[in-house]
Structure 1
Amino acid sequence: MCPLILTILSPDKYYYGKVLLDNREVLNLNDFNQNEGKEVLKGKLNLDCVFVHYFIKELILSCIYRNNFLKFVNTSDVLPRNLILQETKRDLIDYRWNEHVCFLIREKCELDHALSWLSTLGGAFSALGDYFEKCADTAGKISVNQLKLAIRLGDPNIASRCRLYLSLSLIQKKKYKLAAKIIEAEYVTSKCAIIVDERLVRMCKGIWSKLQYEYSLYRKNKGLKS
């Protein structure tokens, strides 16, 4: 099939560009020769600008549609090579997308609200976790729920903090090896990030210091008991 060049213009002959169609891809030709205009404008077709937008988009996205279109053009001389954009008669409102965006915004607000409540509640249980193991266990569960919300929000920094909160709970429950792995992983990730969050780095160092202190106390108490 022979390639096809479509020229897109306004009613007053302003060139928006040219599109080259072949069976493999669609190319935008911005380096067209304006001297070709008189020759090319012999055949033209007036089309709604919105229709032209979706028409070109479909040619780009669908290989089957593009090949069928080229086959039709090559076997008939019906379609002019110049598309003259006309002002759309109706302003289109995408109600379905609008509802989807409203849902996403509302969901994010609710997730932010839930995350703030869990953060307050988790902080309280974490403070008591140094004295009561059940509180440390509850703080860990809250951190896991916070992590799920952070992943849902798509915020890697908040997700990293939630994992560090979980490591605090593990330290309180004397699961030092697992806590150390989490802290090390988050520290490496935070240092290798494109934009380094210094607060997150300092948070890793602070929790690591707590881990070292708690582990030294644990070993000391274990040595006294033995």
Structure 2
Amino acid sequence: MKVCCFRVFVKEVLWDCIFIVKHIQNYDFFTTVYDVPFRVSAELQSLQFPSNEIDPLLMNGNCLEQVIKIMEQSAYFRKLLVRKMNTITSVDNNNITISVQDINLVEPKKYRLPYTWCNIYEKTDLEYRELENIMAWLSTLGGAFSSLGDQTEHCAIVAGKISIQQLKIALRIGDPITVARCKLYLAISLMQRGQFNTAKSIVKEQYFFVRSQTVIDERLIKMCYGIWCKLRYEKNKYYSIKSKIKKTA
């Protein structure tokens, strides 16, 4: 078995180790000593201090990143590196030969930035901020129609439509707490239109969902309590008026 160790130094301090282990016909790649087989890793403990007589390679971070990627992807490249490293640093009783090459990491003249990822992040961040802005406007508008929904069914219907739009945006953002809040807004609209059973199911579902979270949102819990009390009041009021109409008919 042969082990090729690439020790990476930053300002003469050991920063990381990269290993290629040749076993029979396999050339395995490891980025940490803890992933290397145990009987090999025990021998590698002696490599913690620089004692290599070969001049170290000077390499910047951009180049090292590409070398590591090629090592991970190409078994042929790993095989070539093992053949090139003929200098044997140590041999233990198990005939494990270890070759070492030091790499001194230097600062590049120009840093290579992941522009593609930066563009994706910028677009995502802009979209998120715009969605948050739209959500704020819809909350204001929906609150106004919801307050009028107790007297006018048309306003309750409009408030329900706004809640559905808010729900779509919350699903797009991916915030489950905001999704739960939008569903509670929808429950208020349904309650104002006399759909008490559907509103009841939504409130109960969101209450148990919030209670199941690791971090419980107390404001949402109180919101569920408030809507539940309003639901009971509106339901009793509705059936009380309905019974009076039947008696007078």
- Scaled to the shorter chain, the TM-score interval is 0.7 to 0.9
1:86 aligns to 2:106 (yes or no): yes
> TM-score, with normalisation over the residues of structure 1?
0.82
> Residue in 1 aligned with 2:14?
15
Q: Which residue is 1:26 aligned to?
A: 30
8 A Cα contact 1:5 1:18, kept in partner: yes
Residue among 180, 188, 194 paired with 1:160: 180
Residues 1:186 and 2:206 are matched in the alignment: yes
User: Who wins on radius of gyration, i.e. which is larger?
Assistant: 2
Shift of 1:216: 1.4
- The two structures have a TM-score, normalised by structure 2, of 0.75
Indicate conservation of the 8 Å contact 2:4/2:100, yes or no: no
Q: CA deviation at 1:85?
A: 1.5
CA distance in 2, matches of 1:203, 1:183: 9
CA RMSD of aligned residues (A): 2.8
Distance 1:177 1:25, change over 3 A: farther
Q: Give the 3 Å change call, closer, same or farther, for CA 145–51 of structure 1 in structure 2.
A: same
8 Å contact from structure 2 (residues 7, 100) kept in 1: no
Confirm whether residue 42 of structure 1 aligns to residue 48 of structure 2.
no
Which residue pairs with 1:114 in the alignment?
134
Give the Å deviation of 1:215: 1.4
Structure 1: distance between partners of 2:128 and 2:47: 50
Task: Answer yes or no: is the 8 Å Cα contact 1:45–1:80 preserved in 2.
Answer: no
Q: How far apart, CA to CA, are the structure 1 residues paired with 2:223 and 2:231?
A: 12
Please, which runs of 5 or more residues in structure 2 have no aligned partner?
22-26, 35-43, 87-98
**Structure 2: which amino acid aligns with 1:49?**
G
Alignment correspondent of 2:91: none
Shift of 1:80: 6.7
Distance 1:170 1:116 in 2: 22
Taking a change above 3 Å as real, the CA distance of residues 204 and 75 of structure 1, as seen in their structure-2 partners, is same
Q: Percent identity?
A: 31
Partner residue in 1 for 2:89:
none
**Runs of 5+ in structure 1 lacking a partner?**
none
Structure having the larger proportion of residues in strand: 2
Q: Give the stretch that moved more between structures: 45-54 or 136-145.
A: 45-54
2:77 paired with 1:69: yes
Q: Shift of residue 169 of structure 1?
A: 0.7
- 1:81 is paired with a residue whose SS is strand
> Is the CA contact 1:125–1:139 (under 8 Å) kept in the aligned structure 2?
yes
1:120 maps to a residue whose letter is T
**Residues paired across the two proteins, number:** 220
The alpha carbon displacement at 1:45 in A equals 2.5
Q: Tell me which protein shows more helix as a share of its residues.
A: 1
Offset of residue 33 of structure 1: 3.2
Deviations 1:96-133 (A, max 9, x none): 33333332332222212211111111111111212222
Q: Hey, what's the Cα distance between the residues in 1 that align with 2:113 and 2:159?
A: 47
